Amino acid sequence: DDFARSGYEHYMMKEMMEQPQVAEQLIGGHLDERHGTTRLPDLNLSPRELRSFRRVKILGCGSAYYVGQMGAQMIAEIARIPADAEAASEFRYRAPLIEADTLYIVVSQSGETADTAFAVEEIKRKGGYVVGVINAVGSTIARAVDGRVYIHAGAEVAVASTKALTNMAIVFAMIAVEMGRVHDLSLIDGRRLVAGIAALPGKITQIIENRDLLDPLALTLSQASSIYYIGRVRGYPVASEGAQKMKEISYIHAESYQTSELKHGPLALVSPEMPTVAFIPDDELTDRNIAAAEQIMARQGPLVAFTHAGVDLSGLDAQTYVVPKSEPELDPILLTIPMQLLAYKVAVLLGHDVDKPRNLAKSVTVE
């Protein structure tokens, strides 16, 4: 067993450490730097067919759903096609309209999640075109879909998904660029994003190598019984995934909100006992995010801030962690990785069974 964990104490740590390498493996061969696009032939879609979709709907469960939200934002922003994500578990029960000009994308590590498989069934019954972003080759969902992109993350054992999520997010970046290049994305922006994707593995390595910088932040959070995670637009799915990871393995209650929603309710609970993990990336919303963090400070809420170099947080009384910058559209991919490490560190501090959290299964094959 120790051999299988490559000497690490937990599979989760081993799998987080593998991220630069599996990301590299995924990206290799899929990028066309000269034409500023990607190559995803297994989607089974010609450029003309790819161009014909007017909307994108992404479906997945749990963390795969949150990565789907990141993907929807990337597709909307990069390809300028309306896109959204939805929990696959709800989909078939709300009498969804299946439209011929919508590209349906299901996301699943295991390829065996029953709720996601049922969503595929519902889409196909009503004549929709559905592709999969999947890890397990030859799995139920991989066989059911019309086209697929394998994420090549290798076997994932820990219940808390890490490397698979990162590679799913990278696949969404590639789908966004590919769809963008048959729509309105310029050659120059295509090249900028392709170069940004190619640079991700090196930046992931940096985060992993500097993981001990998260120790004091983990210590703060390990003492809480409830944590807010807040972000906006690109940062919001990162907050949701961060809160999910924390809940899954540390058993600390964690809840995500759009930073913009704070004043509409959640601020009521901010106190010295209730820390907030705040995403303050270097983007067009930096000032708004700092203003919200000040509101939390004014109520003595402990702040743990994730930001980029160059963002001036000196006015905030916050424990700060600086995440390597990529292209703004791709930033969520890198922001998510310290969330995994943070949850892991808190769970270890609290002495929990990191790889097999209570009440959860690696793959949920019943409804």
Contacting residues toward ligand AGP, per CB under 6 A: 61-64, 108-110, 113, 116, 159-161, 248, 360, 363-364
Q: What angle do CA 309, 192, 259 make, to 5 degrees?
A: 45
CB of 263 to ligand AGP, least distance (A): 30
Residues 6+ away with beta carbon under 8 Å from 90: none
Nearer to ligand AGP, 117 or 296 (CB): 117
- Taking the complex as a whole, the smallest distance from the CB of residue 116 to ligand AGP amounts, in Å, to 5
Instruction: Please report how close the Cβ of residue 145 comes to ligand AGP at its closest, in angstroms.
Output: 13
Largest CA distance in the chain: 56
Which residue's CB comes closest to ligand AGP? 62
Q: Of 245, 237, 267, 243, whose CA–CA distance to 255 is shortest? A: 243
Query: Contact, 345 vs 218, CB < 8 A?
Result: yes
Query: What does the block give as tokens for 179?
Result: 């769809």
Of 60 and 190, nearer to ligand AGP (C-beta) is 60
Looking at beta carbons only, is 279 or 344 nearer to ligand AGP? 344
CB of 162: closest distance to ligand AGP in angstroms?
Answer: 8
DSSP-based three-state secondary structure for 137: coil
Q: Which is nearer to ligand AGP, 133 or 311 (CB)?
A: 133
Assign residue 360 a region: left if phi > 0, alpha if psi is -120 to 50, beta otherwise? Answer: beta
Other C-beta atoms within 10 Å of 364: how many? 16
> Nearer Cβ to ligand AGP, position 268 or 366?
366
Q: Are 288 and 232 in contact (CB under 8 A)?
A: yes
Q: Which is nearer to ligand AGP, 26 or 316 (CB)?
A: 26
Structure tokens at 24: 């590299």
CA pair distance 348, 16, nearest whole angstrom: 15
| Cβ proximity to ligand AGP, 62 vs 275, nearer residue | 62
On whether the CB atoms of residues 2 and 146 are closer than 8 A, the answer is no
The 3 state secondary structure assigned to 181-242 is HCCCCCHHHHHHHHHHHHCHHHHHHHHHHCHHHHHHHHHHHHCCCEEEEEECCCHHHHHHHH
- State the minimum distance, in angstroms, from the CB of residue 123 to ligand AGP: 16
Q: State the nearest-atom distance from the C-beta of 160 to ligand AGP, in Å.
A: 4
Q: Which is nearer to ligand AGP, 174 or 354 (CB)?
A: 354
Least Cβ distance, residue 64 to ligand AGP (angstroms) = 4
CB of 111 to ligand AGP, least distance (A): 7
